[in-house]
Amino acid sequence: MEIAAARVATFHYILTDDAGQVLDRSPDEHPLSYFHGGGNIIPGLEKALEGRSAGDALTVDVQPAEAYGERVEGLVQDVPREAFQGIDTIEPGMQFQANGGQGPVLVTVVAVNDTQVRIDGNHPLAGQTLHFDVRITDVREATEEEKQNGRVAG
């Protein structure tokens, strides 16, 4: 059976950056399952998996436009330290949920001084080409519940 809309695909993956650094991987005992066509994985990877079958192995290079987008420097800004009331320690790398104009936004602290905190609203992988090594382990028809919800049940 091939990966197509309204099917559930299960695969193992290793994600690396341009330098070959491993950014993420599926645990050996727990491959990733997703509902194909539901927008549950990045578009470039989903497109590359279309038409593949269990047992297929492939490498996929996904450009930023089909992953987490290009970096937007306007999403990096300094905010007053007082905006973090009740938080004693703020360090680069920490992430917080902020209220943006279109709902909640995850921001990452990139620098801190006594009066300002520099935050970055870009996804941590924005602007990067992502390299996937993928091994498909299963493809099945989605259940009616999965089709209605657009994602894998459970």
Give pLDDT, residue 45: 98
CATH number at residue 13: 3.10.50.40
Answer for the pair 145, 29: CB distance below 8 angstroms, yes or no.
no
Give pLDDT, residue 81: 93
Per-residue pLDDT, averaged over 127-150, amounts to 97
Q: How many domains does the chain have?
A: 2
Same domain, 47 and 82: no
Instruction: Identify whether 154 is part of a domain.
Output: no
Instruction: Identify whether 1 is part of a domain.
Output: no
Per-residue pLDDT, averaged over 25-52, amounts to 96
Angstrom distance (rounded) from CA 147 to CA 119: 38
Per-residue pLDDT, averaged over 6-30, amounts to 97
Beta bridge partners of 96: 107
In DSSP notation, 84-122 reads: GTT-----TT-EEEEEETTEEEEEEEEEE-SSEEEEE-S
Instruction: Identify whether 85 is part of a domain.
Output: yes
Strands 76-80 and 57-62: unpaired
Per-residue pLDDT, averaged over 112-118, amounts to 94
Angstrom distance (rounded) from CA 54 to CA 39: 20
Give pLDDT, residue 101: 74
Answer for the pair 118, 110: CB distance below 8 angstroms, yes or no.
yes
Given a cut of 80, is residue 30 above it in pLDDT? yes
Give pLDDT, residue 103: 81
Q: Angle at Cα 46 formed by Cα 33 and Cα 96, nearest 5°?
A: 75
Q: Report the mean per-residue pLDDT for the chain.
A: 95
Instruction: Identify whether 2 is part of a domain.
Output: no
Same domain, 43 and 56: yes
Same domain, 130 and 63: yes
pLDDT in tens, 60-106: 999 999 999 999 999 999 999 998 888 889 999 999 988 877 788 89
Domain encompassing residue 44: 7-68+126-149
Give pLDDT, residue 1: 97
Given a cut of 80, is residue 115 above it in pLDDT? yes
55: confidence class by pLDDT, cuts 50, 70, 90: very high
Instruction: Identify whether 145 is part of a domain.
Output: yes
Angstrom distance (rounded) from CA 142 to CA 128: 32
Instruction: Identify whether 55 is part of a domain.
Output: yes
**Residue of 21, 6, 25 whose CA lies nearest to 135:** 25
Same domain, 19 and 56: yes
Same domain, 63 and 36: yes
Give pLDDT, residue 70: 97
Same domain, 84 and 97: yes
